[in-house]
Amino acid sequence: MIEMIQVNHQFVIGKKGRERIVPVLHEIDLQVKEGEIVAIVGRSGSGKSTLLNLMSGYIRPTAGAIRVAGRDVTGLSEGDWADFRLAHLGFMFQSFQLIPSMTAFENAELPLVLKGMGIAERKKRVMALLNQVGVAEYAGHYPGELSGGQQQRVSVARALMLNPPIVLADEPTGSLDSDNERQLLSLIRELNRELGITFVLITHDEQVAATAHRTIALKDGYLLNAPGKGGASSYEIQ
């Protein structure tokens, strides 16, 4: 579902004429197979979020190629990437990124509005997913009226609204207590098992990593044990 081939990325910082190049990722070769839950782990500054942003097209690689859902997305225009994201990717965030002035229903509904779906069909789809993730009774509540766990479930419903084959999650349990973390991880496993959704999870959390089928470890922008550096590019979670 996701393939990165010899991907390098660097940022250029500073004013024109005094730029400084900061390498972030080096020679990244990895594959995420359909139906996998893959965790990407590493210390802060190791390149995890940059890797996720490359997968989602918010930044472009300095070198190398990226394929997502069978398509070479390396050179897509901003407009094509936006359409591609809407059709193929769902997103979960540590901060939930719900709009405070909109209800849980309205937040979850946003992808369907962008897609142009009719009102009646939208209502049916939104309520079905809010029910599936366990927050249908809070459809009319605003984010400030919900607990962190409830807000994250609304975020999950929004991520799944267009039936994406891939969900990218950036520290999805980072703002949750232990009980809500367990519930969210159980939900991710259930969605993977029943719907075949491929999950890529960025995390510092060992419990989240233990949920994955595989863990990909990054250190200083390199995959640990990458091909040509001593073995496979990832290790199995038992």
- Domains, the chain, in order of start with CATH, read 33-46+77-236 (3.40.50.300)
**Is the pLDDT at 238 greater than 50, yes or no?**
no
- Among 150-154, 173-177, 186-190, 209-213, whose mean pLDDT is lowest? 173-177
pLDDT of amino acid 225: 59
Per-residue pLDDT tens over the stretch 146-167: 999 999 999 999 999 999 999 9
Confidence of residue 175 (pLDDT cuts 50, 70, 90): confident
Q: What is the pLDDT of residues 197-232, one digit of tens each?
A: 999 999 988 888 998 999 999 999 999 854 444 333
- pLDDT number for residue 27: 92
Sheet holding 2-13, edge to edge: 20-32, 2-13, 63-68, 71-72
CA 117 to chain centre: 24
Task: Say which DSSP state 204 is in.
Answer: S
Q: Exposure pattern of 118-146 as b/e (b: 16+ CB <10 Å)?
A: eeeebeebbbebbebbebbebbebbbeeb
Number of neighbours of residue 18 by Cβ within 10 angstroms: 7
Question: What is the model's pTM?
Answer: 0.85
Taking the CA atoms of residue 118, residue 128, residue 199 and residue 34 in that order, the dihedral angle to the nearest 10 degrees is -80
Location of structure tokens 């979960």: 92
Going by C-beta distance under 8 Å and a sequence separation of 6 or more, which residues neighbour residue 21?
10, 11, 12
Burial zone of 65 (CB within 10 Å; 0-12 exposed, 13-18 middle, 19+ buried):
middle
